[in-house]
Structure 1
């Protein structure tokens, strides 16, 4: 059985390393030009070089997104940029427009090209066409069913790889081709500066009563009539693998370290468990629990099973039951003291969960908190990126993440 690649988002060098450490086979990042996440911490050439080395030293791959739809002025210098990526050693570029394909073939003919989901490929003839143009991998449109994906795979030329999204945010528009943000705020979704206007809270206004706002009731949390659910296929790994796709892609280059670590860990373990022993495979609730801990909208299975109506919401708000409160910098086994980089507020005496690669969650208690900068005891770590120390009986490791559940107050 062909084991598919687990492909993770990396919005920064730190998150790239986390993705690889937690089991990703490859990461995708944004460079300085022509990618659809203008507000993420896109990589400089120096950071990219370090990230490539980190991946290649561990036998992993790195792809760079160039998936905007360029205007004439965007094409200036694109060949030099692509040649620079090739010289740095990137494993592939992800593109959406024929102009970038043509530029890549001219500037770096040996550079692998992947076709973005933005190109909305929905049939096998299209995969054959793009493969003949020199594209090695097709990222299929999110709107396809598993049955359609299987049929595409059966009719796709040997050597052409298929990739599908299995987790993350979904767009209200077909394959992300949305003009709402551009129309309302002049921020073009297809240039990487989407305002997520579909997530806004909306009211009705009658034209002769300009200051009277009528609510459009959806639920008690508000009115988010275009807000899609999040995709989650962690419970359906066997079906995805059987479809024959080469890569399982996790969305989220603008998500935090907790999101990257949790999703990669869950999908890595599930894919390995199924591919290593298909007949004895059993789904583990801990994989679903892991992705339920991260900030998310209500989950669903997208279009994979043909339930086209599930894009709409019945619970409009984000689910944020857990926060990352710290990342372990070091641990002294003699003193049982951990040095922590603060990520969210945490108190002395709190019990937290530890998220570690290739290890089930476990709990520890944070005792005797000490503020390193102020050189004094404290009962709370409440400054951004504060370095603090705590006594922890269970040995911790560098890069362990400390996760804290939010308390629900009963009224």
Structure 2
């Protein structure tokens, strides 16, 4: 729910999510079926649609549960199912005809004839195969039904398999990626062992550390949104269901701003601020590039707190701590549809939770906020300013969707745009703190 709220608040036109069954991200913090109506209510109140994935490889034993499952989602008010299995699609159209049918990338639709077949079965949108170039998409668009939409992944983690249909995890670990349980063996480090010399391992790369030969780069198409639009893409998909709300907010905000006319240069650094693998552009401009040197993440900024309240009159912020920050430290405010602002922490105070023995604990002045999820209060110092972007000083998976066109701005955005200094509840605080993590390699 936290990721969904971030996606909605920071500018997505739709969110895609899974319930606790039939989704491709079984390890994500998915929604219980009984929580879907509340998620739909939050999204719809902001004019945002909800698409629910049921895109695993369906087995015979899954079919009996699907009719009641689709009926429950229909009753909850969801707007679309994302399905890659013909049998599941047939059941969905039969028992929940009100709900739109979107064809998952798992179906690997890469040509207009395949799109036409799905259209004849009731599909209104196809999420095209990830292996398609922009030219491929443009040619498919020319021969598809005019009212069938195309959706394409534009940002996030990529898989080395054909549209994610991989057998390696199942083969090596017994956990099927096609059933939502991928262990990501394409990210592992590999060496060669020759059959007649068991125990002797030979590096694939000369540095002796092995190679992450199947490790795909993360996708980043922020600078190419006009090209996606020109090719006929109606909707861009941001992968991020295994990410935190701060990631969702940062990435959705960047794409929303650029789609609405902001310069790419102002928001490209925002995508460096969040945790990511090396970036590429997938197959859109040719063969996709791998990241063979290491399976690692890096980020230019650290998410340190979530804003609970902000008092304009007293210039005081109350925030929930996520990572440590200190008295006198400069924080950056991530708010939807306004430039990044900076505040300096003054009079940092911990607000202890009430207990049975101390129902009204006194605030405690502290030099550092370091209690995870603890509540802290601080006043805004004099060193406040607005900045267009984030300097790239140290170079190195509730998914959300944003479509071309303006979304309605948040109710408080206009007010804060004239101030440029204080956040609102639901905003994020970060510090410029470079971090790199890797299982192996540089």
Whether the TM-score (by the shorter chain) exceeds 0.5 is yes
Pick from 336, 345, 349: which aligns with 1:366? 345
The answer to whether the 8 Å contact 1:28/1:62 transfers is yes
Indicate how the Cα distance of structure 1 residues 39 and 315 shifts in structure 2: closer, same or farther if over 3 A, else same.
closer
Which stretch of the first structure deviates more once superposed, 384-393 or 212-221? 212-221
Taking the TM superposition and a 5 Å limit, the aligned residue runs for 1:105-254 are: 105-206=93-194, 213-217=201-205, 223-254=211-242
Offset of 1:214 from its aligned partner?
A: 4.5
The answer to whether the 8 Å contact 1:26/1:60 transfers is yes
The whole-number CA distance in structure 2 between the counterparts of 1:55 and 1:407 is 33
Offset of 1:347 from its aligned partner?
A: 2.1
Which residue number corresponds to residue 285 of structure 1? 265
Query: Size of the alignment, in residue pairs?
Result: 388
The answer to whether the 8 Å contact 2:6/2:246 transfers is no
The whole-number CA distance in structure 2 between the counterparts of 1:322 and 1:220 is 32
The whole-number CA distance in structure 1 between the counterparts of 2:206 and 2:169 is 22
The whole-number CA distance in structure 2 between the counterparts of 1:337 and 1:46 is 38
Pick from 83, 90, 93: which aligns with 2:71? 83
The answer to whether the 8 Å contact 1:137/1:163 transfers is yes
The answer to whether the 8 Å contact 2:299/2:434 transfers is no
5+ unaligned residues in a row in structure 2: which ranges?
354-362, 382-420, 437-442
The whole-number CA distance in structure 2 between the counterparts of 1:218 and 1:396 is 50
The answer to whether the 8 Å contact 1:298/1:315 transfers is no
The answer to whether the 8 Å contact 1:96/1:119 transfers is yes
The whole-number CA distance in structure 2 between the counterparts of 1:219 and 1:234 is 34
The whole-number CA distance in structure 2 between the counterparts of 1:378 and 1:208 is 64
Offset of 1:123 from its aligned partner?
A: 0.4
Offset of 1:211 from its aligned partner?
A: 5.4
Give the TM-score taking structure 2 as reference length. 0.83
The whole-number CA distance in structure 1 between the counterparts of 2:282 and 2:206 is 21
The whole-number CA distance in structure 1 between the counterparts of 2:435 and 2:40 is 43
The answer to whether the 8 Å contact 1:219/1:316 transfers is no
Instruction: Please tell me whether residue 296 in structure 1 is matched to residue 276 in structure 2.
Output: yes
The answer to whether the 8 Å contact 1:217/1:223 transfers is yes
Instruction: Please tell me whether residue 319 in structure 1 is matched to residue 346 in structure 2.
Output: no
Taking the TM superposition and a 5 Å limit, the aligned residue runs for 1:249-268 are: 249-268=237-256
Q: What CA deviation, in whole Å up to 9, does each residue of 1:339-377 have, x standing for no partner?
A: 111112222222121110001112111122211117422
Offset of 1:218 from its aligned partner?
A: 6.8
Pick from 324, 336, 358: which aligns with 1:345? 324
Offset of 1:110 from its aligned partner?
A: 2.1
Indicate how the Cα distance of structure 1 residues 328 and 312 shifts in structure 2: closer, same or farther if over 3 A, else same.
closer
Offset of 1:82 from its aligned partner?
A: 0.2
Which residue number corresponds to residue 310 of structure 2? 331
Aligned alpha-carbon RMSD (Å): 2.1
Indicate how the Cα distance of structure 1 residues 265 and 72 shifts in structure 2: closer, same or farther if over 3 A, else same.
same
Pick from 301, 307, 310: which aligns with 2:289? 310
Instruction: Please tell me whether residue 395 in structure 1 is matched to residue 422 in structure 2.
Output: yes
Q: What CA deviation, in whole Å up to 9, does each residue of 1:364-402 have, x standing for no partner?
A: 111222111174222222222111111224422111211
Instruction: Please tell me whether residue 53 in structure 1 is matched to residue 53 in structure 2.
Output: no
Offset of 1:309 from its aligned partner?
A: 4.8
Q: What CA deviation, in whole Å up to 9, does each residue of 1:118-175 have, x standing for no partner?
A: 0001101110111001111100001111111111111111221111111111101111
Indicate how the Cα distance of structure 1 residues 367 and 201 shifts in structure 2: closer, same or farther if over 3 A, else same.
farther
Question: Higher relative contact order at CA 8 Å, sep ≥6: structure 1 or structure 2?
Answer: 2
The whole-number CA distance in structure 1 between the counterparts of 2:320 and 2:209 is 34
Give the TM-score taking structure 1 as reference length. 0.89
Offset of 1:248 from its aligned partner?
A: 0.7
